[in-house]
A and B are shown apart, each in its own frame.
With several copies, the nearest count.
Chain A
């Protein structure tokens, strides 16, 4: 399945864009599958991605969370509010 992933902050700076489209082998991928596919597709971002969590529909997702078509998926790296 093809998943559009939103990027923010340092991750968006590193990628030079606000979103990336990643391809997973699974037809119904988990959050872990998406993060792994992203890491494979963007080896230069590997070290940043190890500290990342996936958010699905505005909530942090477990590794096992299933991604469905139409879900809003975002990678949340180190945040820096306050």
Chain B
């Protein structure tokens, strides 16, 4: 049964993905995790701070999930995105797609993320890593 869910969550997402029950129709489950990288435009950062326009962000993600289910004939899509501070190495976005065959799920993942980056009202602000001078309390 086709199922589209989307949520904006406070802070980093749990990077453990548990598939308690998988129905016997889905042969492929693709999970995509977006992880905060240590550099943003070449500068070292400590974290990203995400701002979302609620409830439009969830609404757009849910609409994209429903759209992708139609376009790619996948069985279900669940999307989660962080709001607020997410440190380097932590997870800010998770997408889980179940489908009969793998190709649809991989294609749907690519399409969903592309569209999210265009349409979902979510913004990030880099939190710079302190410079060594600040860490040590004195210039080196």
Contacts and interface: CB of A to CB of B under 8 A. Distances in A.
Interface of A: 6, 8-10, 55, 58-60, 74, 76, 79-82
Q: How large is the interface on B (under 10, 10 to 19, 20 to 34, 35 or more residues)?
A: 20 to 34
Interface string B98-140: 0000000000000001001111111111000000000000000
A81 B56 contact: no
A79 B59 contact: no
B121 A74 contact: yes
A79 B122 CA distance: 6
Contacts of B120: 79, 81
Given A79-B121, A80-B124, 5 more contacts: A8-B51, A80-B117, A80-B122, A81-B116, A82-B116
B123 A8 contact: yes
B56 A79 contact: no
Secondary structure class of chain A's binding surface, majority of residues:
mixed
Contacts of B56: 55, 58-59, 74
A81 B83 CA distance: 10
Interface string B60-90: 0000000000000000000001000000000
A9 B92 CA distance: 17
B124 A8 contact: no
A19 B50 CA distance: 18
Interface of B: 34, 50-53, 55-57, 59, 81, 92-93, 113, 116-125
A9 B93 CA distance: 18
A79 B55 contact: no
Contact of B92 (A6, A59, A82): A82
11 contacts: A6-B53, A55-B53, A55-B56, A58-B55, A58-B56, A74-B121, A79-B122, A81-B122, A82-B92, A82-B93, A82-B117
A81 B81 CA distance: 8
B59 A8 contact: no
B73 to A, nearest CB: 19
Contacts of A76: 53, 121
A76 B92 CA distance: 21
A21 B56 CA distance: 21
